[in-house]
Amino acid sequence: MALVGCRELGSGTFGIFYHGKWRGIDAAIKRINDRCFARKPSEQERMRNDFWNEAINLADLHHPNVVAFYGVVLDGPGGSVATVTEFMVNGSLRNALQKNEKSLDKCKRLLIAMDVAFGMEYLMARE
């Protein structure tokens, strides 16, 4: 999946985040840094296993209060990989809360807190 037309959103320790399209819908794409896998052979194997275990676990999550995981892209530049998830229009919950701090009344904040709690309850029940 080429990143043509994708817009960079930011970067972190493990990769660069983009906003793009996945099968015609808005998606968040995290291109994993090559250096994450460029270590000693034993560490490379562990990192690959960790990556695939996380992808398998994320693919198994289905709840309206948990960001949807769409898949993994293996054909990136230089053989790099990317994860593809649901795109959140307002960014992270933290950013949305900070940006709309004054416009969110107590009722809206309570509804957000309940949605977070339902998502966390779902995740905890899966352990």
**pTM to 2 decimal places:** 0.78
3 and 25 in one domain?
yes
Compute the distance between CA of residue 111 and CA of residue 118 in angstroms, rounded to an integer. 11
109 and 61 in one domain?
no
Are the C-beta atoms of 6 and 19 separated by less than 8 Å? yes
102 lies in which domain range?
A: 90-127
pLDDT for residue 100 is more than 90: no
105 and 59 in one domain?
no
pLDDT for residue 13 is more than 50: yes
Instruction: Please tell me the predicted confidence (pLDDT) of residue 70.
Output: 94
pLDDT per residue as tens digits for the range 52-91: 888 999 999 999 999 999 999 887 666 678 899 999 988 8
Q: Return the CATH number at 65.
A: 3.30.200.20
Alpha carbon 73 to its chain's center? 13
Instruction: Please tell me the predicted confidence (pLDDT) of residue 111.
Output: 93
51 and 112 in one domain?
no
99 and 79 in one domain?
no
52 and 13 in one domain?
yes
